Chains A and B, each alone.
Chain A
Amino acid sequence: MTTTSGATVELKNVVKTYGSHSALTGIDLAIAPGEFIALLGPSGCGKTTALRALSGLELINSGSILIDGEDVAAVPTNKRDIGMVFQSYSLFPHMTSIENVEFGLRMRRVPTPERKLRALEALELVGLGHLSDRYAHQLSGGQQQRVALARALVTRPRVLLLDEPLSALDAKVRVQLRDQIRRIQTDLGITTVFVTHDQEEALAVADRVAVMKDGRIEQIGTPEELYTTPASPFVADFVGLSNRVDGELRDGAVTVHGAKLPVLGTPPAPGPVTAYVRPEDVFFAPGDGIPATVVVSSFLGSLRRTSVRLADDSLLSVQHAVGERYAPGDAVHVRFGVAPVAVRERA
């Protein structure tokens, strides 16, 4: 399959309302050609609405949607030249895999020999050339989504839209297909927007991740930026794991359990705050630090995560090496690292 030149995509002040409910409250997003962007957020944050607005399946109330500089806000879906993979299985049940893949080419009146060749090529790209004569019900969930991906790519669309395509799959297939999507996207250089509520998925595949909340983009950045320098407590809490620790903000630093930690971004007014501390920024400190009791310790393959209870009954999660073993009830001491933390005013 030939490499496509990705398109630029821009959403400018896009507003979408359903009655009195605002699904998108004026979002701005600029996507570079060939970039892989993930829209990440909890249910109801507007990420799917944003994707559907981009596809034309939802009409927006105001704002503009530009693909390669052309405003497509009023262009119907079938004329936007996009490829889309849906969350639920969307293969046409009365067609075989190859007929499904051919559908988009048929709509574009591509001559039969070329159509068949390109459809088979697309199926081979997703590793399913040998299942071209199978109907959807004869394929597994993962295979169906791969055929759907081939179907979306075969027309060489300007933008590929993925609406939680992995959410119905089991964990192993999910990781395999996730990696396959990323590999194909990189090879083809197609501009891709990927909607997911799974932060691990978003961080693993995207060039940049836009974290959404209440119909707006809370923060957009590379996975590393989002993880290490979250712009808000919501991002700190949603992306990766965080310990919520009560503290006191004074002189631009937060004091938690006697430890003084630097604060990320613009700190709120001095006073009581909640600090968001990553489990990898909390350490066991034999014979020194804050006394605690081990509640539970979980083996996670390459690392171990242990929950400890402090004297004020609050819980802390500590990430540490697999070799360090703790049993429930063990008396330990913990200390905080020096990494900056996100804070939010405490009511």
Chain B
Amino acid sequence: MSRREVSTAVRMGTEPTKLVRRVILITIALIFAVPILATIQFTFRDGLAGDLTLDHWTGLFTPDAARTYRGLFTAIGNSFLLAAVTVGIVLVVLLPTIVLVHLQFPRLKRVLEFICIIPITVPAIVLVVGLAPVYSIVVKVFGGSVWTLAFAYGITVLPYAYRAIRSNVDAIDLVTLSEAARSLGANWLLVLLRVLLPNLRRGILSAAFISVAVVLGEFTIASLLNRVNLQTALLQVSQSDPYVAAIFALLALAFAFILLLLIGRLGSSRRDRSNA
């Protein structure tokens, strides 16, 4: 080993001290925690008086609330419907495409990656400008139902879903596993169902949950295409009752957090648990 290689190895092996690591960790934790804690504290504030109250939370469970916030609950329903359809698009279109490209057309991997990354480089507002004329046709074909927004969301979640599935695909030898299964008598459908999907479980779950999180947090496209979802409804509610808007924003955040925990839990297979 040359002196240069040795010095590089030593430099690379140098770890930050415990104190530095703690400072970094605490700083990052504060960046995330302060706005969340401030929002939580805000939901307990009693107007400008500065006292704390549970009224804003308990008010949500009164019979009047159902009537007052009907629009908001409808919007939540819309967002869940959109999330489900978007996940469906990811599973039905993106997943088989990635598998097919890896097994049969490996030269197209880079092309597919490029296509899937494009949406992250296009601002939502620009996307809407392009989507508006497309949606005039979509409305004619599928009607103006809110679920049609999932076609646009299918594009916006592409980068996240693609990366989640791709990292899983790269971690297993898809080609050899499918060839082994075929040599044992499995047809392509059985190869996919019995061998590939169980091994892509973690990537599929990650893609699905990240897609749900992205859809629940989406505002621009829905607003500009005049559709109602959780975020557009929250904006509307916040103009009349900012406390309720903050409570629902927190609940959406908690839901996304639970989803992320679920990725870890459901993603760990029987094989992983056998190690425990």
User: Is A145 at the interface (CB under 8 A from chain B)?
Assistant: no
Complex Cα spacing A55 to B176, Å: 13
| Closest-CB distance, A41 to chain B (whole angstroms) | 21
Q: Which of A27-35, A86-94, A231-239 contacts B (4 or more CB under 8 A)?
A: A86-94
Complex Cα spacing A86 to B177, Å: 10
B180 touches A84 (CB 8 A): yes
B271 touches A55 (CB 8 A): no
Q: Which of B22-30, B182-190, B209-217, B223-231 contacts A (4 or more CB under 8 A)?
A: B182-190
Of A57, A94, A104, the residue contacting B184 (CB under 8 A) is A104
A90 touches B185 (CB 8 A): no
User: Is B179 at the interface (CB under 8 A from chain A)?
Assistant: yes
User: Is B41 at the interface (CB under 8 A from chain A)?
Assistant: no
User: Is B86 at the interface (CB under 8 A from chain A)?
Assistant: no
User: Is B143 at the interface (CB under 8 A from chain A)?
Assistant: no
B179 touches A90 (CB 8 A): yes
User: Is B68 at the interface (CB under 8 A from chain A)?
Assistant: no
User: Is B274 at the interface (CB under 8 A from chain A)?
Assistant: yes
| Closest-CB distance, B200 to chain A (whole angstroms) | 10
User: Is B110 at the interface (CB under 8 A from chain A)?
Assistant: no
User: Is A158 at the interface (CB under 8 A from chain B)?
Assistant: no
Residues in chain A near residue B275, CB distance under 8 A: 138
Q: Which of A75-83, A116-124, A202-210 contacts B (4 or more CB under 8 A)?
A: A75-83
B186 touches A90 (CB 8 A): no
A90 touches B184 (CB 8 A): no
B180 touches A94 (CB 8 A): no
Residues in chain A near residue B274, CB distance under 8 A: 135, 138
Residues in chain B near residue A84, CB distance under 8 A: 179-180, 183
A107 touches B173 (CB 8 A): no
User: Is B198 at the interface (CB under 8 A from chain A)?
Assistant: yes
Residues in chain B near residue A137, CB distance under 8 A: 271
Known A88-B173, A90-B173: A103·B184 in contact at CB below 8 Å: yes
Which of A56, A83, A86, A155 has the most chain B CB within a 10 Å cutoff? A86
B271 touches A103 (CB 8 A): no
* Size of interface on B: residues with Cβ below 8 Å to A: 24
Which of B179, B190, B198, B201 has the most chain A CB within a 10 Å cutoff? B179
B184 touches A93 (CB 8 A): no
Size band of the interface chain A makes with B: 20 to 34
User: Is B206 at the interface (CB under 8 A from chain A)?
Assistant: no
In the complex, chain A residues 88-135 whose Cβ is within 8 Å of any chain B Cβ: 88-90, 92-94, 103-104, 107-108, 135
Residues in chain A near residue B190, CB distance under 8 A: 107
Which residue of B has the minimal Cβ distance to A161? B183
In the complex, chain B residues 149-189 whose Cβ is within 8 Å of any chain A Cβ: 172-173, 176-177, 179-187
Residues in chain B near residue A94, CB distance under 8 A: 198-199, 201, 269-271
B180 touches A86 (CB 8 A): yes
| Closest-CB distance, B193 to chain A (whole angstroms) | 12
In the complex, chain A residues 18-63 whose Cβ is within 8 Å of any chain B Cβ: 55-57
Complex Cα spacing A79 to B186, Å: 9
Complex Cα spacing A77 to B270, Å: 30
| Binary contact track A305-347/B, C-beta < 8 Å → 1, others 0 | 0000000000000000000000000000000000000000000
Complex Cα spacing A77 to B182, Å: 6
Known A92-B195, A135-B271, A135-B274: A78·B179 in contact at CB below 8 Å: no
Complex Cα spacing A221 to B133, Å: 71
List 10 A-B pairs, Cβ < 8 Å.
A79-B185, A83-B183, A84-B183, A86-B176, A86-B180, A89-B173, A93-B271, A94-B269, A135-B271, A138-B274
